[in-house]
Structure 1
Amino acid sequence: MAKHLQETKQPVAVVAGASSGIGRATARALADSGFAVVGTSREAAQAAPLEGVTLLDLDVTREVSAEAFIAEVIARFGRVDVLVNNAGVGLAGAAEESSISQIRAVFETNFFGTIRMTNAVLPHMRAQSGDRIINVSSILGMIPAPYMAVYAATKHAVEGYSESVDHEVREHGIRVLLVEPGYTSTSFEANTAWSDSPLPVYAGQRAIIRDVLTEAMRNADDATIVAKVIVAAATDAKPRLRYPAGATASRASTLRRLVPWRAFDKQIRKLNRLAA
Protein backbone atom coordinates (compact mmCIF):
# COMPACT_ATOMS: atom_id res chain seq x y z
CA MET A 1 0.00 0.00 0.00
CA ALA A 2 1.31 3.48 -0.84
CA LYS A 3 0.91 4.82 2.65
CA HIS A 4 3.10 2.00 3.97
CA LEU A 5 6.05 2.60 1.62
CA GLN A 6 8.14 4.00 4.49
CA GLU A 7 7.63 0.81 6.48
CA THR A 8 10.34 -1.06 4.56
CA LYS A 9 12.61 1.91 3.77
CA GLN A 10 13.05 3.85 6.99
CA PRO A 11 12.74 3.27 10.71
CA VAL A 12 9.87 5.31 12.16
CA ALA A 13 10.36 7.67 15.11
CA VAL A 14 7.62 9.45 17.05
CA VAL A 15 8.52 12.62 18.97
CA ALA A 16 5.89 13.79 21.44
CA GLY A 17 6.05 17.54 21.94
CA ALA A 18 7.80 18.41 18.68
CA SER A 19 6.43 21.88 17.96
CA SER A 20 9.31 23.72 19.67
CA GLY A 21 12.44 23.45 21.79
CA ILE A 22 14.04 20.06 22.45
CA GLY A 23 11.25 18.20 20.64
CA ARG A 24 11.58 20.22 17.46
CA ALA A 25 15.39 19.91 17.46
CA THR A 26 15.05 16.17 18.06
CA ALA A 27 12.56 15.68 15.25
CA ARG A 28 14.92 17.47 12.86
CA ALA A 29 17.95 15.49 14.07
CA LEU A 30 16.17 12.15 13.73
CA ALA A 31 15.00 13.05 10.22
CA ASP A 32 18.58 13.98 9.31
CA SER A 33 19.69 10.60 10.68
CA GLY A 34 17.43 8.67 8.32
CA PHE A 35 14.24 8.23 10.33
CA ALA A 36 10.74 8.83 9.08
CA VAL A 37 9.62 11.18 11.85
CA VAL A 38 6.16 11.89 13.21
CA GLY A 39 6.04 14.84 15.57
CA THR A 40 3.18 15.86 17.79
CA SER A 41 1.59 19.08 18.95
CA ARG A 42 -1.63 19.95 20.71
CA GLU A 43 -2.48 22.01 17.61
CA ALA A 44 -0.37 20.63 14.77
CA ALA A 45 -2.02 22.88 12.19
CA GLN A 46 -0.71 25.94 14.06
CA ALA A 47 2.86 24.65 14.40
CA ALA A 48 5.58 25.79 12.03
CA PRO A 49 6.24 23.09 9.40
CA LEU A 50 9.44 21.07 9.67
CA GLU A 51 11.00 19.50 6.59
CA GLY A 52 10.94 15.71 6.69
CA VAL A 53 8.59 15.61 9.70
CA THR A 54 4.88 14.78 9.73
CA LEU A 55 3.09 16.76 12.45
CA LEU A 56 -0.07 15.34 13.99
CA ASP A 57 -2.35 16.39 16.84
CA LEU A 58 -1.84 14.81 20.25
CA ASP A 59 -2.91 15.63 23.80
CA VAL A 60 -0.92 13.36 26.10
CA THR A 61 -3.25 14.14 29.01
CA ARG A 62 -6.04 12.17 27.29
CA GLU A 63 -5.79 8.40 26.90
CA VAL A 64 -8.11 8.38 23.90
CA SER A 65 -5.88 10.93 22.14
CA ALA A 66 -2.72 8.86 22.75
CA GLU A 67 -4.36 5.68 21.49
CA ALA A 68 -5.85 7.37 18.41
CA PHE A 69 -2.51 9.00 17.58
CA ILE A 70 -0.53 5.75 17.72
CA ALA A 71 -3.24 4.02 15.67
CA GLU A 72 -2.92 6.74 13.02
CA VAL A 73 0.86 6.39 12.90
CA ILE A 74 0.57 2.62 12.48
CA ALA A 75 -2.02 3.10 9.73
CA ARG A 76 0.22 5.55 7.86
CA PHE A 77 3.67 4.06 8.43
CA GLY A 78 3.08 0.49 9.52
CA ARG A 79 5.29 0.61 12.63
CA VAL A 80 6.91 2.66 15.37
CA ASP A 81 10.57 1.91 16.03
CA VAL A 82 11.39 4.77 18.41
CA LEU A 83 9.11 6.73 20.73
CA VAL A 84 10.51 9.90 22.30
CA ASN A 85 8.36 11.05 25.22
CA ASN A 86 9.27 14.72 25.38
CA ALA A 87 5.97 16.49 26.10
CA GLY A 88 6.25 18.38 29.38
CA VAL A 89 5.32 21.44 31.41
CA GLY A 90 7.21 23.27 34.15
CA LEU A 91 6.23 24.51 37.60
CA ALA A 92 8.25 26.63 40.05
CA GLY A 93 7.63 27.88 43.56
CA ALA A 94 7.60 26.31 47.00
CA ALA A 95 5.78 22.97 47.04
CA GLU A 96 3.36 24.18 49.71
CA GLU A 97 2.28 27.03 47.44
CA SER A 98 0.75 24.84 44.74
CA SER A 99 -2.81 23.59 44.91
CA ILE A 100 -3.41 19.87 44.43
CA SER A 101 -5.18 20.63 41.14
CA GLN A 102 -2.10 22.49 39.85
CA ILE A 103 0.18 19.66 40.95
CA ARG A 104 -2.09 17.08 39.37
CA ALA A 105 -2.04 18.95 36.04
CA VAL A 106 1.77 18.82 35.92
CA PHE A 107 1.76 15.09 36.65
CA GLU A 108 -0.91 14.51 33.99
CA THR A 109 1.47 15.77 31.30
CA ASN A 110 4.94 14.92 32.56
CA PHE A 111 4.31 11.52 34.14
CA PHE A 112 0.94 10.11 33.17
CA GLY A 113 1.42 11.40 29.62
CA THR A 114 4.56 9.28 29.39
CA ILE A 115 2.65 6.25 30.65
CA ARG A 116 -0.23 6.81 28.22
CA MET A 117 2.10 6.98 25.23
CA THR A 118 4.12 3.98 26.40
CA ASN A 119 1.03 1.85 26.94
CA ALA A 120 -0.33 2.83 23.53
CA VAL A 121 2.84 1.86 21.64
CA LEU A 122 4.00 -1.27 23.51
CA PRO A 123 1.57 -3.74 21.87
CA HIS A 124 2.89 -2.70 18.45
CA MET A 125 6.53 -2.74 19.52
CA ARG A 126 6.24 -6.26 20.94
CA ALA A 127 5.43 -7.46 17.43
CA GLN A 128 8.78 -6.09 16.24
CA SER A 129 12.34 -6.22 17.58
CA GLY A 130 14.98 -3.71 18.58
CA ASP A 131 12.55 -0.89 19.43
CA ARG A 132 13.23 1.91 21.90
CA ILE A 133 11.23 4.22 24.13
CA ILE A 134 13.24 7.28 25.11
CA ASN A 135 11.86 9.27 28.01
CA VAL A 136 13.13 12.82 28.34
CA SER A 137 13.77 13.30 32.05
CA SER A 138 15.88 16.14 33.47
CA ILE A 139 18.86 16.94 35.61
CA LEU A 140 16.12 17.54 38.21
CA GLY A 141 15.16 13.88 37.95
CA MET A 142 18.39 12.91 39.69
CA ILE A 143 19.02 15.76 42.15
CA PRO A 144 16.90 17.76 44.63
CA ALA A 145 15.26 20.91 43.28
CA PRO A 146 14.22 23.40 45.98
CA TYR A 147 11.37 25.58 44.73
CA MET A 148 10.81 23.20 41.83
CA ALA A 149 9.77 20.23 43.95
CA VAL A 150 6.67 19.30 41.97
CA TYR A 151 8.44 19.39 38.61
CA ALA A 152 11.34 17.41 40.08
CA ALA A 153 8.88 14.90 41.52
CA THR A 154 7.44 14.24 38.06
CA LYS A 155 10.92 13.64 36.67
CA HIS A 156 11.96 11.43 39.59
CA ALA A 157 8.77 9.45 38.88
CA VAL A 158 9.68 9.16 35.20
CA GLU A 159 13.14 7.88 36.20
CA GLY A 160 11.80 5.17 38.50
CA TYR A 161 9.09 4.17 36.03
CA SER A 162 11.49 4.00 33.09
CA GLU A 163 14.15 1.95 34.84
CA SER A 164 11.52 -0.52 36.07
CA VAL A 165 9.67 -0.89 32.76
CA ASP A 166 12.98 -1.34 30.95
CA HIS A 167 13.42 -4.60 32.86
CA GLU A 168 9.86 -5.70 32.05
CA VAL A 169 10.06 -5.24 28.28
CA ARG A 170 13.68 -6.08 27.51
CA GLU A 171 12.85 -9.72 26.82
CA HIS A 172 10.55 -8.49 24.04
CA GLY A 173 13.38 -6.68 22.27
CA ILE A 174 12.39 -3.25 23.64
CA ARG A 175 14.53 -0.85 25.67
CA VAL A 176 13.27 2.05 27.79
CA LEU A 177 15.99 4.70 28.07
CA LEU A 178 16.38 8.03 29.86
CA VAL A 179 17.82 11.27 28.47
CA GLU A 180 18.59 13.79 31.21
CA PRO A 181 19.09 17.38 29.96
CA GLY A 182 20.41 20.22 32.08
CA TYR A 183 19.06 23.74 31.67
CA THR A 184 18.29 24.14 27.98
CA SER A 185 17.81 27.31 25.96
CA THR A 186 14.19 26.92 24.86
CA SER A 187 10.87 28.61 25.56
CA PHE A 188 10.12 25.87 28.13
CA GLU A 189 11.77 27.69 31.01
CA ALA A 190 10.24 31.02 29.99
CA ASN A 191 6.81 29.39 29.96
CA THR A 192 7.22 27.64 33.31
CA ALA A 193 4.26 28.39 35.56
CA TRP A 194 4.60 29.53 39.16
CA SER A 195 2.66 28.26 42.13
CA ASP A 196 -0.97 29.33 42.15
CA SER A 197 -1.20 30.00 45.93
CA PRO A 198 1.93 32.02 46.87
CA LEU A 199 2.60 32.48 50.57
CA PRO A 200 4.36 35.52 52.13
CA VAL A 201 6.69 33.26 54.12
CA TYR A 202 8.36 32.11 50.89
CA ALA A 203 8.38 35.45 49.06
CA GLY A 204 12.01 36.35 49.73
CA GLN A 205 13.48 32.98 48.75
CA ARG A 206 11.12 32.74 45.78
CA ALA A 207 12.62 35.97 44.41
CA ILE A 208 16.11 34.56 44.91
CA ILE A 209 15.19 31.39 43.03
CA ARG A 210 13.94 33.51 40.13
CA ASP A 211 17.41 35.06 39.95
CA VAL A 212 19.07 31.64 40.21
CA LEU A 213 16.99 30.34 37.30
CA THR A 214 17.73 33.45 35.23
CA GLU A 215 21.46 32.98 35.79
CA ALA A 216 21.26 29.29 34.93
CA MET A 217 19.57 30.11 31.64
CA ARG A 218 22.43 32.43 30.63
CA ASN A 219 24.64 29.35 30.33
CA ALA A 220 21.96 26.95 29.17
CA ASP A 221 22.66 24.30 26.54
CA ASP A 222 21.31 24.64 23.04
CA ALA A 223 18.46 22.26 22.24
CA THR A 224 20.57 20.67 19.49
CA ILE A 225 22.92 19.29 22.17
CA VAL A 226 20.05 17.37 23.73
CA ALA A 227 18.79 16.30 20.30
CA LYS A 228 22.15 14.72 19.46
CA VAL A 229 22.05 12.73 22.69
CA ILE A 230 18.53 11.51 21.91
CA VAL A 231 19.68 10.36 18.47
CA ALA A 232 22.54 8.49 20.16
CA ALA A 233 20.07 6.80 22.51
CA ALA A 234 17.94 5.85 19.51
CA THR A 235 20.80 4.41 17.48
CA ASP A 236 23.54 3.10 19.81
CA ALA A 237 24.20 -0.59 19.21
CA LYS A 238 24.51 -1.16 22.97
CA PRO A 239 22.38 1.56 24.59
CA ARG A 240 22.86 2.77 28.16
CA LEU A 241 19.95 3.22 30.53
CA ARG A 242 20.79 6.88 31.25
CA TYR A 243 22.13 9.56 28.91
CA PRO A 244 22.97 12.86 30.64
CA ALA A 245 22.75 15.62 28.02
CA GLY A 246 25.21 18.50 28.27
CA ALA A 247 28.15 19.31 30.52
CA THR A 248 26.08 20.40 33.54
CA ALA A 249 23.95 17.26 33.51
CA SER A 250 27.04 15.06 33.13
CA ARG A 251 28.73 16.74 36.10
CA ALA A 252 25.59 16.47 38.23
CA SER A 253 25.23 12.79 37.41
CA THR A 254 28.83 12.09 38.39
CA LEU A 255 28.64 14.13 41.60
CA ARG A 256 25.36 12.49 42.62
CA ARG A 257 27.01 9.08 42.39
CA LEU A 258 30.38 9.89 43.93
CA VAL A 259 30.10 12.78 46.39
CA PRO A 260 29.13 12.00 50.03
CA TRP A 261 25.57 12.93 50.90
CA ARG A 262 26.44 15.75 53.33
CA ALA A 263 28.76 17.46 50.85
CA PHE A 264 26.20 17.10 48.05
CA ASP A 265 23.44 18.49 50.27
CA LYS A 266 25.60 21.48 51.19
CA GLN A 267 26.28 22.21 47.51
CA ILE A 268 22.57 22.10 46.64
CA ARG A 269 21.86 24.71 49.30
CA LYS A 270 24.75 26.88 48.14
CA LEU A 271 23.69 26.78 44.49
CA ASN A 272 20.14 27.76 45.42
CA ARG A 273 21.32 30.45 47.89
CA LEU A 274 19.56 28.78 50.80
CA ALA A 275 20.59 29.38 54.42
CA ALA A 276 23.20 26.90 55.63
Structure 2
Amino acid sequence: MAKIILITGASRGFGKIWAKALLERGDKVAATARKLDDLADLVAQYGDAVLPIQLDVNDRAACFEAVNKATEYFGRIDVLINNAGFGLFGAIEETTEQQARAQMETNFFGLLWVTQAVVPIMRAQQSGHIIQVSSFLGLVTLPVLGLYNASKYAVNGLSETLATEVKSFGIHVSLIEPNGFSTDWSGASAFQTEPNEVYAPIKKAFADGATPDTWGKPEATAAAVLQLIDSPNPPLHFLLGKIAYPGVKQVYADRLAEFEEWKDVSVDAHGH
Protein backbone atom coordinates (compact mmCIF):
# COMPACT_ATOMS: atom_id res chain seq x y z
CA MET A 1 0.00 0.00 0.00
CA ALA A 2 1.34 3.41 -0.98
CA LYS A 3 2.35 5.67 1.87
CA ILE A 4 1.42 9.34 2.13
CA ILE A 5 4.42 11.46 3.07
CA LEU A 6 4.59 15.16 3.88
CA ILE A 7 8.08 16.59 3.33
CA THR A 8 9.06 20.15 4.22
CA GLY A 9 12.00 21.77 2.45
CA ALA A 10 11.53 19.59 -0.64
CA SER A 11 12.97 22.10 -3.11
CA ARG A 12 16.55 20.83 -2.97
CA GLY A 13 19.05 18.64 -1.13
CA PHE A 14 17.81 15.78 1.01
CA GLY A 15 14.17 16.83 0.67
CA LYS A 16 14.20 16.67 -3.14
CA ILE A 17 16.22 13.44 -3.24
CA TRP A 18 13.95 11.65 -0.77
CA ALA A 19 10.76 12.94 -2.41
CA LYS A 20 11.90 11.54 -5.76
CA ALA A 21 12.86 8.19 -4.22
CA LEU A 22 9.45 7.88 -2.55
CA LEU A 23 7.54 8.87 -5.68
CA GLU A 24 9.64 6.56 -7.82
CA ARG A 25 8.51 3.55 -5.81
CA GLY A 26 4.85 4.57 -5.87
CA ASP A 27 4.31 6.57 -2.68
CA LYS A 28 2.49 9.89 -2.69
CA VAL A 29 4.11 13.09 -1.49
CA ALA A 30 2.90 16.44 -0.23
CA ALA A 31 6.01 18.55 -0.89
CA THR A 32 6.52 22.01 0.58
CA ALA A 33 8.89 24.77 -0.46
CA ARG A 34 9.11 28.52 -0.11
CA LYS A 35 8.70 28.82 -3.90
CA LEU A 36 6.32 26.58 -5.83
CA ASP A 37 8.50 26.88 -8.94
CA ASP A 38 11.12 24.79 -7.13
CA LEU A 39 8.66 21.87 -7.08
CA ALA A 40 7.63 22.12 -10.76
CA ASP A 41 9.95 19.31 -11.85
CA LEU A 42 8.36 16.88 -9.36
CA VAL A 43 4.86 17.77 -10.56
CA ALA A 44 5.88 17.46 -14.21
CA GLN A 45 7.33 14.00 -13.64
CA TYR A 46 4.90 12.52 -11.12
CA GLY A 47 1.62 14.38 -11.69
CA ASP A 48 -1.17 13.89 -9.16
CA ALA A 49 1.06 11.80 -6.90
CA VAL A 50 2.60 15.11 -5.81
CA LEU A 51 0.83 17.90 -3.97
CA PRO A 52 3.03 21.03 -4.15
CA ILE A 53 2.49 23.42 -1.23
CA GLN A 54 4.05 26.83 -0.79
CA LEU A 55 5.18 27.11 2.82
CA ASP A 56 7.43 29.23 4.98
CA VAL A 57 7.71 27.13 8.13
CA ASN A 58 8.31 30.28 10.18
CA ASP A 59 4.58 31.02 9.72
CA ARG A 60 2.78 28.86 12.29
CA ALA A 61 -0.70 29.35 10.81
CA ALA A 62 0.61 28.44 7.36
CA CYS A 63 2.08 25.21 8.78
CA PHE A 64 -1.34 24.17 10.05
CA GLU A 65 -2.91 25.12 6.71
CA ALA A 66 -0.33 23.05 4.82
CA VAL A 67 -0.94 19.97 6.97
CA ASN A 68 -4.70 20.33 6.58
CA LYS A 69 -4.35 20.77 2.82
CA ALA A 70 -2.26 17.60 2.54
CA THR A 71 -4.73 15.66 4.68
CA GLU A 72 -7.71 16.82 2.64
CA TYR A 73 -5.98 15.99 -0.64
CA PHE A 74 -4.65 12.54 0.23
CA GLY A 75 -7.02 11.54 3.06
CA ARG A 76 -4.29 10.92 5.64
CA ILE A 77 -0.63 11.49 6.44
CA ASP A 78 1.44 8.40 7.20
CA VAL A 79 4.84 10.04 7.50
CA LEU A 80 6.05 13.57 8.20
CA ILE A 81 9.63 14.42 7.24
CA ASN A 82 10.52 17.74 8.86
CA ASN A 83 13.43 18.68 6.63
CA ALA A 84 13.29 22.48 6.27
CA GLY A 85 16.30 24.25 7.75
CA PHE A 86 19.59 26.01 7.06
CA GLY A 87 23.10 26.37 8.42
CA LEU A 88 24.55 29.47 10.08
CA PHE A 89 28.35 29.57 10.04
CA GLY A 90 30.33 31.77 12.39
CA ALA A 91 31.61 32.16 15.93
CA ILE A 92 29.06 32.70 18.68
CA GLU A 93 30.49 36.12 19.51
CA GLU A 94 30.03 37.18 15.88
CA THR A 95 26.38 36.18 15.69
CA THR A 96 23.82 38.98 15.59
CA GLU A 97 20.49 38.80 17.39
CA GLN A 98 18.68 38.64 14.06
CA GLN A 99 20.85 35.75 12.85
CA ALA A 100 20.43 33.83 16.10
CA ARG A 101 16.65 34.25 16.11
CA ALA A 102 16.37 33.35 12.41
CA GLN A 103 18.35 30.15 12.99
CA MET A 104 16.10 29.05 15.83
CA GLU A 105 12.90 30.22 14.10
CA THR A 106 13.43 27.93 11.10
CA ASN A 107 15.38 24.99 12.48
CA PHE A 108 13.50 24.66 15.76
CA PHE A 109 10.24 26.59 15.81
CA GLY A 110 9.36 25.82 12.18
CA LEU A 111 9.81 22.12 12.93
CA LEU A 112 7.73 22.50 16.09
CA TRP A 113 4.83 24.16 14.27
CA VAL A 114 4.61 21.44 11.61
CA THR A 115 4.90 18.78 14.30
CA GLN A 116 2.10 20.33 16.34
CA ALA A 117 -0.08 20.47 13.24
CA VAL A 118 0.42 16.82 12.28
CA VAL A 119 0.11 15.16 15.70
CA PRO A 120 -3.72 15.50 15.93
CA ILE A 121 -4.02 13.98 12.43
CA MET A 122 -1.87 10.99 13.31
CA ARG A 123 -3.47 10.65 16.75
CA ALA A 124 -6.90 10.38 15.11
CA GLN A 125 -5.48 7.75 12.73
CA GLN A 126 -3.80 5.95 15.65
CA SER A 127 -0.74 5.63 13.42
CA GLY A 128 2.04 7.69 11.93
CA HIS A 129 5.76 8.33 11.81
CA ILE A 130 7.28 11.73 12.54
CA ILE A 131 10.81 12.01 11.15
CA GLN A 132 12.79 15.04 12.27
CA VAL A 133 15.85 15.89 10.21
CA SER A 134 18.30 16.88 12.90
CA SER A 135 22.08 16.39 12.71
CA PHE A 136 24.82 14.52 14.48
CA LEU A 137 25.47 18.08 15.72
CA GLY A 138 22.40 17.58 17.88
CA LEU A 139 24.51 15.03 19.79
CA VAL A 140 27.99 16.55 19.58
CA THR A 141 29.28 19.98 18.60
CA LEU A 142 31.70 21.59 16.19
CA PRO A 143 33.20 25.10 16.43
CA VAL A 144 31.85 27.97 14.29
CA LEU A 145 28.43 26.31 14.17
CA GLY A 146 27.25 27.27 17.64
CA LEU A 147 23.73 28.43 16.82
CA TYR A 148 23.21 25.55 14.39
CA ASN A 149 24.40 23.11 17.05
CA ALA A 150 22.02 24.71 19.55
CA SER A 151 19.06 24.48 17.17
CA LYS A 152 19.66 20.78 16.60
CA TYR A 153 20.15 20.06 20.32
CA ALA A 154 16.77 21.72 20.82
CA VAL A 155 15.23 19.56 18.09
CA ASN A 156 16.63 16.44 19.74
CA GLY A 157 15.33 17.36 23.19
CA LEU A 158 11.90 18.19 21.80
CA SER A 159 11.68 15.02 19.74
CA GLU A 160 12.87 12.65 22.46
CA THR A 161 10.13 14.08 24.68
CA LEU A 162 7.56 13.87 21.89
CA ALA A 163 8.34 10.18 21.39
CA THR A 164 7.28 9.43 24.98
CA GLU A 165 4.10 11.51 24.66
CA VAL A 166 2.74 10.05 21.41
CA LYS A 167 3.83 6.41 21.62
CA SER A 168 0.48 5.28 23.05
CA PHE A 169 -1.27 6.80 20.02
CA GLY A 170 0.63 4.53 17.63
CA ILE A 171 2.96 7.33 16.49
CA HIS A 172 6.68 6.69 16.01
CA VAL A 173 9.29 9.44 16.20
CA SER A 174 12.73 9.27 14.58
CA LEU A 175 15.61 11.72 14.47
CA ILE A 176 17.72 11.54 11.31
CA GLU A 177 21.19 12.70 12.36
CA PRO A 178 23.49 13.08 9.35
CA ASN A 179 27.13 14.02 9.38
CA GLY A 180 28.21 16.43 6.63
CA PHE A 181 26.91 15.71 3.14
CA SER A 182 27.58 17.47 -0.16
CA THR A 183 24.27 19.32 -0.30
CA ASP A 184 24.07 23.10 -0.56
CA TRP A 185 23.57 23.24 3.25
CA SER A 186 27.12 24.60 3.49
CA GLY A 187 26.89 26.43 0.17
CA ALA A 188 24.02 28.40 -1.36
CA SER A 189 21.65 27.68 1.55
CA ALA A 190 24.14 28.73 4.23
CA PHE A 191 24.45 32.06 6.05
CA GLN A 192 27.67 33.57 7.36
CA THR A 193 28.36 35.89 10.29
CA GLU A 194 30.49 39.01 9.87
CA PRO A 195 33.99 37.69 10.62
CA ASN A 196 36.09 38.77 13.59
CA GLU A 197 39.75 38.09 12.83
CA VAL A 198 40.45 36.70 16.31
CA TYR A 199 38.53 33.58 15.26
CA ALA A 200 40.40 33.14 11.97
CA PRO A 201 42.75 30.41 13.33
CA ILE A 202 39.80 28.40 14.68
CA LYS A 203 37.94 28.71 11.39
CA LYS A 204 41.04 27.69 9.44
CA ALA A 205 41.59 24.63 11.64
CA PHE A 206 37.94 23.69 11.18
CA ALA A 207 38.16 24.06 7.40
CA ASP A 208 41.51 22.25 7.17
CA GLY A 209 40.11 19.31 9.13
CA ALA A 210 37.73 18.41 6.33
CA THR A 211 38.76 16.15 3.47
CA PRO A 212 36.81 15.15 0.34
CA ASP A 213 35.96 11.93 2.17
CA THR A 214 34.40 13.89 5.05
CA TRP A 215 31.35 14.75 2.99
CA GLY A 216 28.86 12.00 2.20
CA LYS A 217 26.99 11.65 -1.10
CA PRO A 218 23.40 12.84 -0.58
CA GLU A 219 21.96 10.42 -3.15
CA ALA A 220 23.34 7.49 -1.15
CA THR A 221 20.98 8.30 1.75
CA ALA A 222 17.77 7.51 -0.15
CA ALA A 223 17.84 3.73 0.40
CA ALA A 224 18.53 4.18 4.13
CA VAL A 225 15.63 6.63 4.54
CA LEU A 226 13.25 4.30 2.69
CA GLN A 227 14.31 1.50 5.04
CA LEU A 228 13.67 3.77 8.04
CA ILE A 229 10.20 4.64 6.76
CA ASP A 230 9.35 0.99 6.14
CA SER A 231 10.56 -0.27 9.51
CA PRO A 232 7.79 -1.48 11.84
CA ASN A 233 10.00 -0.51 14.79
CA PRO A 234 12.07 2.50 13.67
CA PRO A 235 14.87 3.85 15.88
CA LEU A 236 14.56 7.12 17.74
CA HIS A 237 18.13 8.09 16.78
CA PHE A 238 19.28 7.27 13.24
CA LEU A 239 22.79 8.36 12.24
CA LEU A 240 23.57 8.90 8.56
CA GLY A 241 27.09 8.68 7.18
CA LYS A 242 30.32 7.02 8.26
CA ILE A 243 31.70 10.03 10.16
CA ALA A 244 28.80 10.37 12.61
CA TYR A 245 29.10 7.08 14.53
CA PRO A 246 32.79 7.20 15.55
CA GLY A 247 32.49 10.90 16.31
CA VAL A 248 29.47 10.48 18.58
CA LYS A 249 30.92 7.35 20.21
CA GLN A 250 34.14 9.16 21.20
CA VAL A 251 32.35 12.21 22.58
CA TYR A 252 29.98 10.08 24.64
CA ALA A 253 32.85 7.99 26.02
CA ASP A 254 34.67 11.18 27.05
CA ARG A 255 31.49 12.55 28.59
CA LEU A 256 30.90 9.43 30.68
CA ALA A 257 34.52 9.47 31.85
CA GLU A 258 34.14 13.08 32.97
CA PHE A 259 30.91 12.27 34.83
CA GLU A 260 32.73 9.41 36.55
CA GLU A 261 35.66 11.62 37.54
CA TRP A 262 33.34 14.10 39.28
CA LYS A 263 30.80 11.54 40.51
CA ASP A 264 31.60 11.79 44.23
CA VAL A 265 31.38 15.58 44.19
CA SER A 266 28.10 15.40 42.28
CA VAL A 267 26.58 12.89 44.74
CA ASP A 268 27.68 14.89 47.78
CA ALA A 269 25.94 17.93 46.29
CA HIS A 270 22.61 16.10 46.72
CA GLY A 271 22.72 16.89 50.41
CA HIS A 272 21.54 13.59 51.93
TM-score with structure 2 length normalisation? 0.86
- The offset of 1:201, in angstroms, is 2.0
Alignment-derived partner of residue 270 in structure 2: none
Superposed CA deviations along residues 154-206 of structure 1, whole A, max 9, x for unmatched, are 0111111111100000001101110111111111111321114x323223323
Deviates more, 1:23-32 or 1:102-111: 23-32
Deviates more, 1:81-90 or 1:63-72: 63-72
Change over 3 Å in CA distance of 1:262–1:74 after alignment to 2: closer
- The offset of 1:254, in angstroms, is 3.0
* Unaligned stretches of 5+ residues in structure 1: 1-8, 265-276
- The offset of 1:148, in angstroms, is 0.6
Give, in whole Å, the separation in 2 of the partners of 1:263 and 1:47: 48
- The offset of 1:127, in angstroms, is 0.9
CA contact (8 A) 2:31 2:39 kept: no
Q: Does structure 1 residue 209 correspond to structure 2 residue 201?
A: no
Superposed CA deviations along residues 240-266 of structure 1, whole A, max 9, x for unmatched, are 111101111222233334x333999xx
Deviates more, 1:48-57 or 1:238-247: 48-57
Alignment-derived partner of residue 4 in structure 1: none
Alignment-derived partner of residue 133 in structure 1: 130
Which of 160, 165, 169 is the equivalent residue of 2:162?
Answer: 165
Structure 2 SS opposite 1:124: helix
Q: For the aligned residues, what is the CA RMSD?
A: 2.0
Query: What amino acid sits opposite 1:252 in the alignment?
Result: G
**After the TM superposition, which parts of structure 1 deviate over 6 Å for at least 4 consecutive aligned residues?**
none
Give, in whole Å, the separation in 2 of the partners of 1:165 and 1:15: 19
Give, in whole Å, the separation in 1 of the partners of 2:212 and 2:64: 36
Alignment-derived partner of residue 34 in structure 2: 42
Change over 3 Å in CA distance of 1:217–1:15 after alignment to 2: farther
Q: Does structure 1 residue 250 correspond to structure 2 residue 245?
A: yes
Q: Does structure 1 residue 116 correspond to structure 2 residue 113?
A: yes
| Matched residues, number | 252
CA contact (8 A) 1:134 1:233 kept: no
- The offset of 1:21, in angstroms, is 0.7
% identical aligned pairs? 35
Query: What amino acid sits opposite 1:222 in the alignment?
Result: K
Structure 1 SS opposite 2:56: coil
Give, in whole Å, the separation in 2 of the partners of 1:88 and 1:32: 24
Query: What amino acid sits opposite 1:195 in the alignment?
Result: T
Give, in whole Å, the separation in 1 of the partners of 2:127 and 2:134: 22
Give, in whole Å, the separation in 2 of the partners of 1:141 and 1:98: 19
Q: Does structure 1 residue 231 correspond to structure 2 residue 218?
A: no
Alignment-derived partner of residue 32 in structure 1: 24
Give, in whole Å, the separation in 1 of the partners of 2:232 and 2:35: 35
* Unaligned stretches of 5+ residues in structure 2: 259-272
- The offset of 1:220, in angstroms, is 1.2
TM-score with structure 1 length normalisation? 0.85
